[in-house]
Amino acid sequence: MLLAPDDPAYPVRLANLDPKPTLRVSGALDSRAIAVAIVGSRTPVPEALKFARDLAGCLAAAGIVVVSGGAKGIDAAAHEAALRRGRTWCVAPSGRAHPYPEEHAKLFARIARSRGSRMIWPFEDDVKKDEETPKARNAVLVGLARAVVVVQAHLKSGSRNAMTHARRMNRPLLVVPGPPWARAFEGSSAVLATGDALPLCHPQQLFRYLGLTWPGTPTWWPNLRGLEDRPRKRQSSENLRLFDEAVPALDREGWTDSENVVFTGLSDTPQHLDEVVAKTGLSTSATITALLTLSLKDVVVEGPDGFFRRRQCLLTR
């Protein structure tokens, strides 16, 4: 199907892209889905590859859509794991007639056929991959995501471009740290050193940051199950406390009066739109506009449908 920028079904999270590309999609996009992008090196170390698979599987099993770019290495591992456990969206760096990389054509076909998963082409069908198309693809990929996770990045890599888009779009950026002496993680270490990203060491941190309920470590993730078995409560709570302290304080600079009123009226308990309207005294249209803007700023979460709350980590400050 074709999604033009003026189409009512066009993803709201791409509203700030300029220009907004017309999307060719293998099926309808679930506008209510929570999506997390997982990207990384095309030549990852085995440990990073395993982490990407495990993280993508954990997210997909919890109902979260895993978004990636279809490249070799980390991207492909994330797509494969998410397909086994749930849904994935692949944003291609080329048009539909020229799959890239060619050896992933079967993977792309599986994604297109899989229920709830989607292939997304932000280019006309006859566009071939060149030096610029992956950058444009990354803007769409990051735009669709609630947060961006980089599993491994070299100093010069496409993942660094995705990080740049994440910072420009104000998307939470989480980077899996590697050994400081490992050249394969130089790009990851560089962005962590600047303070532009948060380190991700455990998937529970990501769930907490997004204000989502942690479903518990899956039994099929043996490494993390072992970590939780000893000394579980103390280590877990301490790690999360330190992670929460690392989350930047809420900055309301540039917010409109309506956004401030709506945000102040929300709490960590989901409230229906009608309740928010009654509490704030604003019109329904003004309230919806403010809620949409706050959602794009990743400070408000919708769920279930029609109910809104603050992202939980913002309430601990």
DSSP secondary structure of 204-220: HHHHHHTT-------TT
pTM: 0.71
The residue type of 69 is G
| pLDDT attached to residue 133 | 96
What's the CA gap between 292 and 264, in Å, rounded?
Answer: 15
Q: Which CATH number fits domain 2-222: 3.30.360.10, 3.90.1150.10, 3.40.50.450, 3.40.50.720?
A: 3.40.50.450
Cis, bond preceding 180 (omega within 30 deg of 0): no
Domain boundaries, the chain: 2-222, 257-316
Q: In three state form, how does the secondary structure of 82-146 look? A: HHHHCCEEEECCCCCCCCCCHHHHHHHHHHHHCCCCEEEECCCCCCCCCCCHHHHHHHHHHHHCC
Side by side, the strands of the sheet bearing 271-272 are 271-272, 307-310, 300-302
Task: At 65, give phi and psi (nearest 5°).
Answer: -80, 130
Q: Which CATH number fits domain 257-316: 1.10.10.10, 2.40.10.10, 2.30.30.230, 3.30.413.10?
A: 1.10.10.10
For Cα atoms 88, 310, 262, give the angle at the middle one, nearest 5 degrees.
Answer: 120
Q: Are 34 and 304 in contact (CB under 8 A)?
A: no
| pLDDT attached to residue 245 | 37
The residue type of 230 is R
The one-digit pLDDT tens for each residue of the chain (317 residues) are: 999 999 999 998 898 898 999 999 999 999 889 999 999 999 999 999 999 999 999 999 999 999 999 999 999 999 999 999 999 999 999 999 999 999 999 999 999 999 999 999 999 999 999 999 999 999 999 999 999 999 999 887 778 899 999 988 888 899 999 888 888 899 898 888 888 888 998 888 888 877 777 777 666 554 544 444 333 333 334 333 433 433 344 667 788 888 888 888 887 778 888 888 888 888 888 898 888 888 888 788 877 667 888 875 443 33
Does residue 223 sit in helix, strand or coil?
helix
Tokens of residue 133, six digits? 């198309």
Residue 167: how many CB atoms within 10 A of its CB? 15
- Rg of the chain over all Cα atoms, to the nearest angstrom: 19
| pLDDT attached to residue 312 | 54
β-strand pairing of 35-39 with 65-68: parallel
DSSP secondary structure of 11-23: -GGGTT-SSPPPE
